Amino acid sequence: MKQLSPWPYPKLIAHRGAGKLAPENTLAALRLGQHFGYSAFEFDVKLTRDRIAILLHDADLARTTNGLGRAEDWLFSDLAQLNAGGWHSKEYSGEPIPTLQNIAQYLISNGLGCNIEIKPTPGLETITGEMVAKCAQQYWASVQVKPVLSSFSYDSLAAAKTICPAMPRGFLTNELPENWLQILTDLDCASIHLSHKTLTQTTVDAIKRAGFRVCAWTVNDPKMAQDMLQWGVDSVITDCVDTIAPF
């Protein structure tokens, strides 16, 4: 049994910046989440053709920008011209796709924390894990509280571990796999990030006894968030930054 890793992160973390109140994975979303009192943010990072780390959830650009195709097929100089806010509302029209470096500068200058989800384009799991870890290591070099690097991809987390073993890692999963302890041990994870739909008090107890932290996603009911924190969940990720007050 391992000793619990330090967990210098707040109980509530804003999903993709500010949930659905602003265009996800943009600087505008982080600013709005901060306005509601949030001090830590979850967001998704993948790579461009020229291996720039950017914030984007989907493999395809169509849902959240006015571009088409995979981000991996675009140079960042071209992606930077896209509108990543107009799909959400006129208020945010013209909001650009940010780089991880842009976001790191904003977070660090404002004393904010983050959970970086490594979200590789299929086929780029290893290189994405490597590049995101290198970027995080560089950008947060002088910051005491490092980001948590999480991913559904075992290969991405393994690559991140190789590049920067000291950076906290979290394994993302919808359901607790039978070999969860082996996975967390092999990846030397600090935490496991589980869907709230499959999380139980018994599961939380077992994970914590084994020495790992627990994050629950994506919890949008205030009572459920409170219940899960009482179970011993270390952080709850939520869209509802306007109705679930941080504490």
Question: What's the token pair of residue 134?
Answer: 């290198």
Give the three-state DSSP class for 82. Answer: coil
Residues 225, 55, 141: CA angle, nearest 5 degrees: 90
- Contact in structure between 100 and 53 (CB atoms under 8 Å): yes
Q: How far apart are CA 92 and CA 108, in angstroms?
A: 24
Q: Which of 35, 57, 88, 193 is catalytic?
A: 57
Query: Does residue 196 have an active-site annotation?
Result: no
- Cβ-in-10-Å burial (0-12, 13-18, 19+) of 206 comes to middle
Residues 15, 88, 193, 196: which is the catalytic one?
15
Helix/strand/coil percentages in the chain, nearest 5: 35, 20, 45
Distance between CA atoms of residues 210 and 12, nearest Å:
23
Q: Whole-angstrom Cα distance, residue 131 to residue 199?
A: 31
**Which residues are CB-contacts of 49 (< 8 A; sequence separation ≥ 6)?**
72, 73, 74, 75, 76
Give catalytic status of residue 15 as yes or no.
yes
Give the Cα separation of 89 and 144 in Å (integer).
37
Could you give the residue numbers annotated as active site?
15, 57
